Amino acid sequence: MAESVAALSPPLLAHLARRIGADGPMSVAAYMEEALFHPRWGYYATRDPLGARGDFVTAPEISQVFGELIGLWCAALWQRLGAPDPVHLVELGPGRGTLMRDALRAARVVPDFARAARLHLVELSPVLRAAQAHALAAAAPAWHDDLATVPAGPMLLVANEFLDALPIRQFVRGAATWRERVVTMEGDALAFALEAAPADEADLAAAAPGAVREIRPASRTLARAIGERLVAAGGAALFVDYGYWPSACGDTLQAVRRHRAHDVLAEPGEADLTAHVDFADFARAAEAAGARAWGPVPQGLFLERLGLSARAARLAANAEPDAAARIRSGCTRLAAPEAMGRLFKALALTPADGPPPAGFA
Ligand code: SAH
């Protein structure tokens, strides 16, 4: 056994086979964690996955307007908070740093905001940290593995396509009970199997046999931590991601490689793994900590309320014809319902009292 496992390639598959051999089948969440963030062979440890030549493209990489509007959203909220100095400007999973670079450039219209803002980037990938250091050098960011080490105080937090990467557990309804989907070995290959679900999964309501329910423990922990910080020191948080509201059943685990759907188990560490965000579950966890959740609002509507069309028109008017066409098509892609405008949604968290943030009225 040991010999055949050691011969498995790539090395992450051999590592998973050893782990399953020693400890038994692993949850889908444990599999996602290994595949995405194993320090040597994990997907994010080994590459910059973004862009046309990578595996997927995100909103800030499609149009500068996305980050600019979010920068103005932050600056306006900061003024409404009474212009606290310092204020912690936090981004979770900043990718190449593009969103924050565009946000800080646009937020210069409120000069005191840039002076008061202390930039904190929560990022595990060493490759993407290097890209962020390059893009954001002027703002002297501090990096964190986790929100826990960001200092206490008033906070404006943004995260685009971060929650979808947090590991999910999957439960499958049998005739009368839920079972947990796990990852095991079948010969030399990874395969799904079902195990009796732990008794603490009591929050799973009855459903038709075969239904799949996804639970994301790390997003509940995060929502609670952010809620507690906002209640204690003020501020706001903005999450943009693809997902659903209200909570529902469905298998949304997906692998993407080179802009195409890929088998979830076929090449661990070589494809991005995500699942759609259960916005209602996330909002409930933040509200249980005393915060208030706003939205979710479809991305197209949210960006339009922040001034997407006007900003795009102004940029296009000053651009060469080719560049103007790219600006228009980028904004259409972000906002059109059949593109990213409806599946992607924006959700904000604030302390319980106070008016809605811009875009959530
Ligand atoms: N926000 C960027 C990148 C999205 S890709 C954009 O819109 O372009 C997901 C990002 O989240 C990457 O930077 C990835 O390394 C980071 N990430 C995912 N899970 C993480 C975790 N648990 N802790 C810290 N960073 C994480």
CB 91 less than 6 A from any atom of ligand 1:
no
CATH code for position 295 = 3.40.50.12710
pLDDT value of position 251: 97
**Closest to 308 in 3D by CA, of 14, 66, 25, 3:** 66
Cα 299 to ligand 1 centroid, rounded to whole Å = 19
Please work out whether the CB of residue 132 comes within 6 Å of at least one atom of ligand 1.
Answer: no
Number of domains making up the chain: 1
In-domain check, residue 307: yes
**Residue (of 138, 128, 102) closest to 43 by Cα position:** 128
* 219 Cβ inside 6 Å of ligand 1: no
Give the residue numbers spanning the domain of 65.
Answer: 21-351
3-state secondary structure 35-86: HHHCCCCCCCCCCCCECCCCCECCHHHHCHHHHHHHHHHHHHHHHHCCCCCC
| CB-ligand 1 contact for 89 (6 Å cutoff) | no
Instruction: Express each pLDDT in 145-174 by its tens digit.
Output: 999 999 999 999 999 999 999 999 999 998
- Locate all alpha helices (DSSP H) within the chain, ordered by sequence: 2-6, 11-23, 28-37, 59-62, 64-80, 98-106, 111-116, 126-135, 217-233, 279-288, 299-306, 308-317, 321-335
C-alpha 266 to ligand 1 mean position (Å): 22
Question: Which ligand 1 atom is at minimum distance from the Cα of 44?
Answer: 15
Tokens read off for 125: 């990938």
Residue having the nearest C-alpha atom to atom 16 of ligand 1: 93
Write down the pLDDT at residue 206.
77
Residue 341 domain flag: yes
Q: Name which residue sits closest to atom 15 of ligand 1, judged by CA.
A: 125
- Cα(314)–Cα(236) distance, rounded to whole angstroms? 29
99 ligand 1 Cβ < 6 A: yes
| Chain-centre distance for alpha carbon 111 | 29
Mean pLDDT across the chain: 94
Q: Which of 44, 48, 162 should be mutated for ligand 1, with most atoms under 8 A from CB?
A: 162
State if residue 63 touches ligand 1 by the CB under 6 angstroms criterion.
no
Please check whether residue 88 lies inside any domain of the structure: yes
Under the banding of pLDDT at 50, 70 and 90, the label for residue 2 is very low
Spatial distance between the Cα atoms of 125 and 128, rounded to a whole number of angstroms: 5
Residue 230 within a domain: yes
Question: Average pLDDT of 48-71?
Answer: 95
Ligand 1 center from residue 94 Cα (angstroms):
6
Measured in angstroms, how far is the CA atom of residue 21 from the centroid of ligand 1?
A: 30
Q: Quick check: is 123 in a domain? A: yes
- Domain assignment of residue 196, yes or no: yes
Q: Are 201 and 215 in contact (CB under 8 A)?
A: yes
Residue 293 placed within a domain: yes
Contact 49, 131 (CB under 8 A): no
36 in a structural domain: yes
| SS3 state at 280 | helix
- Does 1 have pLDDT greater than 50? no
pLDDT at 52: 85
Question: Which tens digits make up the pLDDT trace of 236-262?
Answer: 999 999 999 999 999 999 999 999 999
CA 148 / ligand 1 centre spacing (Å): 16
Give per-residue pLDDT as tens, 266-301: 999 999 999 999 999 999 999 999 999 999 999 999
Burial per residue of 126-146, b for 16 or more beta-carbon CB atoms within 10 angstroms, e otherwise:
eebbebbeebbeebebebbee
List the single range of 5-14, 65-74, 232-241, 308-317 with lowest mean pLDDT.
5-14
| Beta carbons of 165 and 124 less than 8 angstroms apart | no
Confidence of residue 13 (pLDDT cuts 50, 70, 90): very high
Ligand 1 contact, 61 CB (< 6 A): yes
**Ligand 1 pocket check for 49: Cβ under 6 Å:** no
Count other C-beta atoms under 10 Å from residue 284's C-beta.
14
The arithmetic mean of pLDDT across residues 169-192, rounded, is: 94
What confidence category does residue 203 fall into, taking pLDDT thresholds of 50, 70 and 90?
low
Whole-structure pTM value = 0.96
Poorest-pLDDT segment among 47-51, 122-126, 349-353: 47-51
In short, whether 125's Cβ falls inside 6 Å of ligand 1 is yes
- 76-108 tens-digit pLDDT: 999 999 999 999 999 999 999 999 999 999 999
Q: Is the predicted pLDDT of residue 9 greater than 90, yes or no?
A: no
